[in-house]
Structure 1
């Protein structure tokens, strides 16, 4: 099995400009995900897809392969991520590579640990493995208990069910944290055409303190706070 890592990083960011390359714990933010992937024995190479020459330069310096600058039609604000990954993998296959599994890492999730990726890969290697394993966390919110949605008349009501008086009685739900996605090659190709939820999906739960997704300055500060408290070597 040939497993590669992909990291998608556009140059534009409205919530926190330049977030993918802002200094984080002594390195550009994206470099943490690149180094993380390079250190894992299951991953043969790390590829970055970006439209930004500065991100490309920093990615190369960190050890990633930059096969091209992403075309403009795949770098818009509203461009879905899956066609971007599929475009990269298809390009590599056209160059003669055989790829059976893709580990996609979000560059704005620097708090994942090797154990988190090990857990995702173990689930992906199970006999009943689905097309995709993705990382999740318990956000503390639940549509059966404390999540409401607006109705046509402007009022709000519980999102699902009739409303429960105790969270412990509600079905278990998870929030996507975006940190790790482990794709089977054929599942990625299908999902790029038909959407993520068109393939069987399994979840791997990470703790909330490792699930910060950096999109704002407050997220950045919180991630730094948690990073400083991680055991050394993670």
Structure 2
């Protein structure tokens, strides 16, 4: 497979200014995703899709290519991922002079995923594409379940399960399994990306990354949560007086 990795990082973040290049444990946030892509066997090219010069400069220093700029209409707060991917694929194929058959997207606000997750999702798509699977995306067990403890108001204003079943579900274990869209990992065929208009237009399978990795950074709280989890995952801490990162043990 000829695999293109796309890392999207627009400059106009409103929830947390400059979050994509904000330092996280001593390196820019985007660097974590670039390094994961570099460590994943089979990925041929790594491109960063951005509209921002500062992000582009950081991405290049980290070893990614930035061969194009994302158009302004694809860098708004309401822009969807799918056309951003389509633009990146077309521009990358033009720049490199080759066609890719697989596209991987790594969201740079989700550094908790592992290289093994990326490799596993790539392998899953390789095994399942002949069965008609178009995309494999990161998911995790949802913390709340619409059959059990997600509620909505009925016409009379009284609460009820969002997705009621013929028999009431009285314990979480009896509810049908539902997933959180982790947003951290997407692996798709290039043909699917070229012909489709949205994320779930085709046959999409989930790849369970585990609930401990299904966190992203959108605001200060999200940054603090991810930073805490990254410290625990990597076994690093910070001294109380300087904030200097140290390795435990």
Sort the TM-score into its range (normalised by shorter chain). over 0.9
Does the CA contact (< 8 Å) of 1:124 and 1:130 recur in 2?
yes
Report the Cα distance in structure 2 between the residues aligned to 1:66 and 1:43, rounded to whole angstroms. 16
Residue 176 of structure 1 is matched in structure 2 by 181
Aligned to 2:36: 36
2:171 matched to 1:166? Answer: yes
CA contact (8 A) 1:33 1:110 kept: yes
Contact persistence 2:33–2:108 (CA under 8 A): yes
- The TM-score normalised by the length of structure 1 is 0.93
Q: Retained in 2: the 8 A contact 1:123–1:129?
A: no
User: Are 1:209 and 2:217 counterparts?
Assistant: no
CA distance in 2, matches of 1:61, 1:3: 22
What whole-Å deviation, never above 9, does each CA across 1:190-231 have from its counterpart, x for those lacking one? 33x2x1111100111112222211111111111111111225
What CA distance in whole angstroms lies between the structure 2 residues aligned with 1:31 and 1:64? 9
Shift of 1:189: 1.6
Number of equivalences: 230
Q: Could you tell me which residue of structure 1 aligns to residue 151 of structure 2?
A: 148
Contact kept? 1:139, 1:174, Cα under 8 Å? yes
CA distance in 1, matches of 2:193, 2:39: 24
* More displaced 10-residue stretch of structure 1: 204-213 or 46-55: 204-213
1:35-61 CA-to-partner distances (Å, cap 9, x unmatched) read 110121211111001111111111111
* Inter-CA distance 149–189: structure 2 relative to 1 (3 Å threshold): farther
| Aligned-partner Cα distance in 1 for 2:194–2:153 | 36
Which shifted more, 210-219 or 104-113?
Answer: 210-219
**Which residue of 2 is the match for residue 130 of structure 1?**
133
Aligned equivalent of 1:121: 122
For residues 6-28 of structure 1, give each alpha carbon's deviation from its aligned partner in whole angstroms, at most 9, with x where no partner exists.
Answer: 01111111211111111001111
Which residue in 2 is equivalent to 1:227?
A: 230
1:89-142 CA-to-partner distances (Å, cap 9, x unmatched) read 112223422100011000000011111112211211114361000001113211
Matches of 1:63 and 1:113, distance apart in 2: 19
Comparing 124-133 with 138-147, greater Cα deviation is found at 124-133
SS in 2 for 1:79: coil
TM (norm. structure 2) is: 0.87
For the 8 Å contact 1:148–1:156, the answer to whether it is kept is yes
- Structure 1: state its 5+ residue gaps: none
Task: Summarize the alignment of residues 63-82 of structure 1 with structure 2, pairs less than 5 Å apart.
Answer: 63-82=63-82
Question: Residue in 1 aligned with 2:242?
Answer: none
| Aligned twin of 1:218 | 221
What is the CA distance between 1:74 and its match in structure 2?
1.3
Counterpart CA distance in 2 for 1:112 and 1:50 is 22
What is the match of residue 244 of structure 2? none
Larger Rg: 2
